Amino acid sequence: MIEVRDLKVYYGDNVAVDGLSFEVKKGEVYGLIGPNGAGKTTTIKAIATLLEPTYGEILVDGISALHEPENVQGMLGYMPDFPPVYDDLRVDEFVELFASAYGATTEKRRAEVDRCLAATNLEDKRKVLCKTLSRGMKQRALLAKTLVHDPPVLLLDEPAANLDPKARIDLRNLLKSLAKDGKTILVSSHVLTELQDLCDSIGIMREGKMVVNGNLQEVVERATPTKTILMELLHPFPQTHGFLIAHPSAHFTGEVDESPTLIEFTFDGDNEEVANLLRALVELGAPVKSFHERKADVESLFLSVESGEQP
Amino acid sequence: MNNDSSGGFAELNPLIRKGIRERLRMKQIIAWGLLTLILTSFTYLTAYLEGSDGQWNYDEKSEIWEKGEPSPVNGARKAFPWLLGVQGFILMFLGTGRMAGGTAEERETGLLDYQRMTPMRPHSKIIGYLFGLPAREYFMFALTLPFLIHAIVVGELSPGKVFHLYGVFLSCVMLYHLTAHVTGLIVSKPRAASWVSRMVVLGLYVFLPGLGQAGFSFLSFLTLLPTYFGLMSEELILVGPQNLNMWHQEMATFWTEVPFFETTLSPAFFSVMMQGLLLAGLFATAHRKWRNEALTAFSKPAGIGLFLLLQFLLIGSLWQLSGNGNASGLLGSAISGDKFDENLIQETENGIVRATVRRTGWVVISVQTILFSLSLGASVLILNVTCPTRHQYLKGKRRSAKLGLQDIPLWADEKPGWLMVLCLALIMPFTHFALLTRAVDSGLYFEEFPGMEAYILPCVLFAACLTYIRAAREKWFTVGFWGFLGLLWITPLLACMVLAVGWEEEVFDVVFHLGSLSPPFAFFEIAGSPHDMSLGIHEDAFKKGAFVGTFIACAIAIWLSLGQFLRRRNWDKGEKNIAVSREP
């Protein structure tokens, strides 16, 4: 649905985006991650046709965003990272303005506004002036405006940045339901745990370049080939440490302390070897209370990219 | 105001509806409505009551002062200009400020981006902003209309003429508002846009029209004044003794006809024509920027078209002045009067001889200097918009490579502006030669043939200036470019002023050479060279200054252009290397 090829954006002598290429399939939720200044906002703005790239190509549903921006714009719902709203309009007027700007008939407009305000939990604030809203509420009003013309593609730049925990959960659920409805969503965020639950694919950007890109699960697994095992003992059992140190596939990351009951180590073997290890520990007499593999997450992947461990 | 989404209101342009909702809620209607009514009532009634009071007349027979009968007609006629002033303040001052501030604010916050992405057509967006942002000001204006009707009825003013005047008034308002909107869309730094908008409006519609008094009549018609005086002066003549009406009668004569080529045009027609042209140009620019923000304000062919239009208007306005000394405005009055006569007193053997010499050479000197300076100013703006910066050029190169083209297309925005320079430098001599030839043939301004340098030198200087302006624009970014022009054009003039004030005649030679670095001063020297400037021993230095300025401009043009050519070759090489490294 969205195809970005060799995208370059220069601001004066600064390179904001440098040869970026990625693809977002129809109905997919794609998370764009990166530190400040990585080029996420620039990339989203370029896809939204609000910024002309220096080089490269952007296709939305096969249509060039560079050469036919007016044909692409109708397919896009764009939400910027800072939520500017018309301060002196009421919330329903703000959403209605865009319903009519996107060509909804007078009769249809009211229904559209009601639908979007309900989706963003703003029904009780509909008659309130936008300037009196909190930042999180403004973000919701903006999301309502973004959804008003029912676009097949959503470009959301830090949509959860100013939301409280409850609103974040609501937003996540809303985005999930939108994705279920077949919408293609490109979302950038610093809140990495949210992307983990939400995204099908991710791209990690650093200094304008894409350093990691692909299906979330595959990327995470590819980036973390070793398993991290967490084991809890009923009471200290010093032989456990000796056993693990002697095991060729087990490795302790930090200093080995034989007294605690919570043990964490990495393991190179496959799932069958993990099972064999557990069996061996139990046969050794270790009082294993719990034994599980800690799943690698986006956060650790991102941190490993940031620290330069990943390419 | 109906704020519900029902009825005709719901069918309005969404942006106009937005403007009404934002700025015309009930409490605002009450507050601003009251303010308008109080302000207008105070102004109108004060002028009306003062004017309708009977005038004191001196009866020479009885040698006593008598108070005349009260005249509501006079009251309404006196109040009319004040009412127009209040309406101008509301729509032209407050409305333009709102347009500039509103556009800049929406651009800065990113709200304009939302509108950019909606499928509304660009012209709908422009109209929406044009009438939506200043919705409150239009409401305030509407509240003043009952006073206008009173003035027309009681003052016995011709409704046709008033209607005509208000047509031009509203066209001026739209011109100012559109200028502010376009500036807000063009200026890259949103915070600066609001100030730049106000400066542009002031420059275009307040300072530039001043040059209309120097023979450049078309510039006067960017304001309402010519139409106002041309149409309304006679209408506003007070009933009663005629000595009260001298000023109105003079103004009516002053503005009645506009010489243009071999004909004359009415001020109202000329105003509508001028403003219509400018409105069309601004609308096209706004349309282009709404379509794609990355595009320049206008394309290269449009830039050449603008320059051609400017030259056409310049020739048309100055045609009669050059040929027979006929001009509108102050210059016309000065020529027809005795303002250029100089009384000479000479002692001879037969006693004191008095003679009057007409020094009309100053007309052609000032007109020629302004003509070239104005054309150069327009060229700076055109080249600033149409010449690509390094990044635009490289973007063009990469895009051409992607499309499989040998080079950037000739008229593309990213193409270097040498063709623009060539076109502008070729257009200008036509105007200059036509007007100078007419001036020489008329016998009004030159005692003898001024020499070929009067024809060629300003054109060479103009071409050299355009060449280095282009090179500077393509070499440096905005700050560097304007800094360079400021240093080269303004600093020498400031230094000359310091020298002239400090050392007076001792340093005149230096002043004439140093000042010639600034093109307007060099054009002045070129225009003045064929005439006796009464500079005594400094006359030669003044005439040499014209050549010095042209020589230095040519040297800077060659130096910057050569440097830019070499630099561009390096960029092209760099691009080729990138392309090679990208190949599989």
| Structure tokens belonging to residue A220 | 């995470």
Helix (H, G, I), strand (E, B) or coil at A6: strand
Nearest CA in chain A to B24: A88
Which value does ipTM take for this structure?
0.77
Q: pLDDT value at position B188?
A: 66
Interchain CB contact of B117 with A (< 8 Å): yes
Residues 455 through 484 of chain B touching chain A, CB cutoff 8 Å: 477
**In terms of domains, do B378 and B429 share one?**
yes
Mean pLDDT throughout A32-39? 84
Query: How many Å apart are CA A183 and CA A94, to the nearest integer?
Result: 23
Q: Is residue B283 part of a domain?
A: yes
**In terms of domains, do B390 and B472 share one?**
yes
Answer yes or no: do A102 and B118 touch at CB < 8 A. yes
Mean pLDDT throughout A25-30? 89
**In terms of domains, do B286 and B367 share one?**
no
**In terms of domains, do B289 and B329 share one?**
no
Q: Are B98 and B137 in contact (CB under 8 A)?
A: yes
Query: Would you state the torsion angle of the CA atoms of residues B204, B210, B213, B214, taken in this order, to the nearest 10 degrees?
Result: -80
Interchain CB contact of B569 with A (< 8 Å): no
Q: Is residue B377 part of a domain?
A: yes
Q: Which of A8, A44, A50 to mutate to test the interface with B (most CBs of B within 10 A)?
A: A50
Q: Is residue B64 part of a domain?
A: no
Q: pLDDT value at position B2?
A: 43
Residues of B in contact with A103 (CB under 8 A): 119
Count: domains in chain B: 2
CA A307 to each of CA A102, A215, A223: distance values in angstroms, whole numbers, following the listed order: 45, 22, 13
Q: Is residue B61 part of a domain?
A: no
Query: How many Å apart are CA B363 and CA B435, to the nearest integer?
Result: 13
Q: Is residue B243 part of a domain?
A: no
Mean pLDDT throughout A192-220? 80
Q: pLDDT value at position B523?
A: 94
Residues of A in contact with B109 (CB under 8 A): 82, 84
pLDDT tens digit at each of 584 positions of chain B: 444 545 677 788 999 999 999 999 999 999 999 999 999 999 999 999 988 887 777 777 777 777 777 888 889 999 999 999 999 999 998 998 889 888 888 888 888 888 988 989 999 999 999 999 999 999 999 999 999 999 999 999 999 999 989 998 998 899 999 998 998 888 766 667 767 777 887 888 778 888 887 778 788 788 888 888 877 877 887 776 655 556 666 666 666 677 888 888 877 777 788 888 888 989 999 998 888 888 888 899 999 999 999 999 889 988 988 888 877 777 777 776 666 666 666 667 767 766 666 677 888 898 899 999 999 999 999 999 999 988 888 888 878 887 788 888 989 988 999 999 999 999 999 999 999 999 999 888 888 888 888 999 999 999 999 999 999 999 887 888 999 999 999 999 999 999 988 887 778 888 999 999 999 999 999 999 988 877 888 888 899 998 999 999 999 999 999 999 998 888 887 776 666 555 54
Residue pointed to by tokens 């006073």: B147
Q: Return the top range by mean pLDDT from A214-218, A240-244, B394-398, B421-425.
A: B421-425
For residue B384, the enclosing domain spans 312-340+355-582
Residues of B in contact with A80 (CB under 8 A): 110, 113
**In terms of domains, do B489 and B550 share one?**
yes
| Structure tokens belonging to residue A22 | 């990625």
The answer, yes or no, to whether residue A309 has pLDDT greater than 60, is: no
- Three-state SS string over B333-344 comes to HHHHCCCCEEEE
Nearest CA in chain A to B395: A54
Residue B210 burial class via C-beta count within 10 angstroms: exposed 0-12, middle 13-18, buried 19 and up: middle
Nearest CA in chain B to A110: B5
Q: Which residues have a Cβ under 8 Å from the Cβ of B226 and sit 6 or more positions away?
A: B212, B220, B255, B258, B267, B270, B271
CA angle B242/B248/B249 to nearest 5° reads: 70
Instruction: Quickly count helices (H) and strands (E) in chain A.
Output: 11, 14
Mean pLDDT throughout A221-236? 78
Q: Is residue B515 part of a domain?
A: yes
Q: Which residues have a Cβ under 8 Å from the Cβ of A211 and sit 6 or more positions away?
A: A204, A205, A305, A310, A311
The side-by-side arrangement of strands in the sheet containing A288-294 is A250-251, A262-267, A227-233, A288-294
CA B22 to each of CA A74, A97, A103, B29: distance values in angstroms, whole numbers, following the listed order: 26, 11, 21, 11
Helix (H, G, I), strand (E, B) or coil at B450: coil
Q: Are B218 and B273 in contact (CB under 8 A)?
A: no
Q: Are B177 and B134 in contact (CB under 8 A)?
A: yes
| Structure tokens belonging to residue B550 | 């042209």
Alpha carbon of A102: minimum distance to chain B alpha carbons (Å): 6
Q: Is residue B167 part of a domain?
A: yes
Q: pLDDT value at position B31?
A: 96
Q: How confident is the model at residue A295 (pLDDT cuts 50, 70, 90)?
A: low
Query: How many Å apart are CA B296 and CA B475, to the nearest integer?
Result: 17
**In terms of domains, do B264 and B316 share one?**
no
Q: Which residues have a Cβ under 8 Å from the Cβ of B531 and sit 6 or more positions away?
A: B361, B362, B365, B446
Residue pointed to by tokens 């073997």: A269
**In terms of domains, do B228 and B377 share one?**
no
**In terms of domains, do B289 and B316 share one?**
no
Q: pLDDT value at position A300?
A: 67
**In terms of domains, do B427 and B497 share one?**
yes
Answer yes or no: do B110 and A82 touch at CB < 8 A. yes
Answer yes or no: do B17 and A49 touch at CB < 8 A. no
Q: Which residues have a Cβ under 8 Å from the Cβ of B131 and sit 6 or more positions away?
A: B13, B16, B19, B138
Answer yes or no: do A73 and B117 touch at CB < 8 A. yes
Strands (E), B424-465: none
**In terms of domains, do B369 and B288 share one?**
no
Q: pLDDT value at position B236?
A: 81
Q: pLDDT value at position B569?
A: 87
Helix (H, G, I), strand (E, B) or coil at A14: strand
| Structure tokens belonging to residue B532 | 């006796």
Query: How many Å apart are CA B398 and CA B517, to the nearest integer?
Result: 38
Residues of B in contact with A97 (CB under 8 A): 14, 17-18
**In terms of domains, do B276 and B421 share one?**
no
The answer, yes or no, to whether residue A24 has pLDDT greater than 50, is: yes
Q: Is residue B251 part of a domain?
A: no
Answer yes or no: do B11 and A106 touch at CB < 8 A. yes
Q: pLDDT value at position B1?
A: 46
Q: Which of B22, B24, B29, B114 to mutate to test the interface with A (most CBs of A within 10 A)?
A: B114
**In terms of domains, do B264 and B336 share one?**
no
User: Could you count the other beta carbons within 10 Å of the beta carbon of residue A23?
Assistant: 15
Q: Which is it for the CA torsion B42, B43, B44, B45, positive or negative?
A: positive
Complete domains list, chain A, with CATH: 2-221 (3.40.50.300), 225-295 (3.30.70.100)
Residue pointed to by tokens 């920027």: B289
The answer, yes or no, to whether residue A285 has pLDDT greater than 80, is: yes
The beta-carbon neighbor of A84 closest among B21, B109, B391 is B109
